[in-house]
Structure 1
């Protein structure tokens, strides 16, 4: 069976899976139920300041507020990346076979991502927080990236934007201190992202035997800056300021926090192993992810 035929077969299977198990977050989540005052918006086990002197000096109410702002920040980042993926896939479809199952699954995945962006936006509103906006340089980068993401690099970028979040969500969605609506949001996202991750991983491994040296070079080095970028996004000073803290001091504390580094390493572990297996983790990429705190 040829690579194209196998890829189409996988796309058809994923489409069937989407028909059997997809969600409509607007009606599948209980948006009318207010946040519980004694529950966290992200579990303390993954919050960036846990274990620092700053965290030790906070009241329980302040800690919950930090979790609210960290949730709003991470959901805002998720919206940016899902928007980027959709625009990249849509650009590729201009030259794709409109009758191919892989095209139909790409459209199905885009539909999932659109619903996820609505779900994330509604969750920010429901939490009582406000979304975080991209800086000008970030907006320019997001506008240009769809033109640069091709071949294996596209699927690597998709995994970088999906797997780290997915791994951490699986770890915390059943936490007893987590807001029930946030737990449900994570259940929905994990179920649908599993298909997206499988499709991206398959795309990378099927290209491995035939990709050129140039494609391998670009794909293995193109994500070198992602670790440093994610560290900055995950420790956004603005979210600490909104929680009533000194934003710069809190960001410095979070970035130097061994506990938070452990969280980052756990989130990246599965993807790091896969990229090594696929031959797409270069020396530069390892350095970038280690510099960002995602590799030991």
Structure 2
């Protein structure tokens, strides 16, 4: 970042974010019409963002099957997002426990936990409303995440949070004004985009502050942790089980998706803004950069 963030900037930012939280927050139970019927012919995800788009398998699917696959893929992405929201709550609670409870910075951390709680419930209700499985991440990732959550802190924690939040945010923003997308999906996206903007501001500033005191060896460690998280998150967003919903072999379809240049471009596009930011502040570089390339994010 071009400027150095002074200690008092932390409280100034927190005050502004707290004020915004009062003025611009939603209640998903009330603001989403959970009983509204889905609109016939409306999509759940733009075709070009579906993992098999442009492949021979995609060409074999009927228009109805393509819509169905897109529905399951947005359900899978949402399931992973829900899971990461819960992890984030745990990380923030641990982070806030070491802060001064009198300060606005602490108050905003607790406010964000409240936001994430509502988001997780909203995502869960959305998945149920669409009649989809709770795909989520594979078991091994769930187990490793428990270890990750117990030890990660500082810049790697905030950078990892930003990778998750900003990749999904870009996908959601792209659908806000797309009239072809189900209104139900667009409203959930709108709520999440508005409230996540505050979370991103908070995390970006804390990341920059944390980097100011890092030694070179510790910087490389935080870079590595962040790169592994980024690689993992973009890899697990689409659960292979989604392909079964349209009669495809999940293993074959997953391999096709992994080799699909259109899917690679979608991953890069989703992560473009956060990759640019992390590069600017020095969180991408050194040996760990290969993980970003392998994930098709560079």
Gaps of 5+ in 2: none
- Report the more deviating stretch, 2-11 or 271-280: 2-11
Alignment partner, residue 74 of structure 1: 77
Alignment partner, residue 272 of structure 2: 269
Is the 8 Å Cα contact of residues 227 and 293 (structure 1) preserved in structure 2?
A: no
Shift of 1:2: 8.0
Distance verdict in 2 for CA 1:230–1:203, change over 3 Å: same
Q: State the aligned residue count.
A: 295
1:280 partner SS: coil
Q: How does 1:19-168 map to 2 (within 5 A)?
A: 19-168=22-171
Alignment partner, residue 207 of structure 1: 210
Is the 8 Å Cα contact of residues 264 and 293 (structure 1) preserved in structure 2?
A: yes
Alignment partner, residue 224 of structure 1: 227
Which of 12, 16, 27 is 1:13 aligned to? 16
Distance verdict in 2 for CA 1:2–1:198, change over 3 Å: closer
Shift of 1:3: 2.8
Q: Aligned partners of 1:114 and 1:45: how far apart in 2?
A: 31
Q: Aligned partners of 1:273 and 1:133: how far apart in 2?
A: 27
Distance verdict in 2 for CA 1:12–1:214, change over 3 Å: farther
Gaps of 5+ in 1: none
TM normalised by structure 1 equals 0.94
Is the 8 Å Cα contact of residues 30 and 181 (structure 1) preserved in structure 2?
A: yes
Shift of 1:172: 2.4
Distance verdict in 2 for CA 1:156–1:231, change over 3 Å: closer
Is the 8 Å Cα contact of residues 72 and 245 (structure 2) preserved in structure 1?
A: yes
Q: Aligned partners of 1:134 and 1:206: how far apart in 2?
A: 31
1:86 partner SS: helix
TM normalised by structure 2 equals 0.94
* 1:253 pairs with 2:256: yes
* 1:290 pairs with 2:293: yes
Is the 8 Å Cα contact of residues 34 and 126 (structure 1) preserved in structure 2?
A: no
